[in-house]
Amino acid sequence: MPFDPHEGHEQAKRCLKLAAETTDPNAQEILTTSAQRWERLAAKLAEAEELMKQSFDERDKHVA
């Protein structure tokens, strides 16, 4: 898969680190929101990967 959910978690961590390092409240809000969005994206991709895996497993059961 072109995007690994782990990558999304790492991006979220980077955003939170930057938010903690800045004193600009607007930047903090933007970075925190970005971190939340990265986490949601990572979760959705992990779900999609699991569904694909289950689908392939089911297919393989019927083919074998």
Tens of pLDDT along 17-58?
999 999 999 999 999 999 999 999 999 999 998 998 888 777
- Measured CA distances, 55 to 6, 13, 46, 51, 64 (Å): 22, 31, 14, 6, 14
Domain total for the chain?
1
Q: Which residues contact 28 (CB under 8 A, 6 or more apart)?
A: 19, 22
Angle (nearest 5°) at CA 2 between 17 and 40: 45
User: Is the pLDDT reported for residue 1 higher than 80?
Assistant: no
Supply the pTM of this predicted model.
Answer: 0.79
The token pair that represents 4 in the structure block: 């690994």
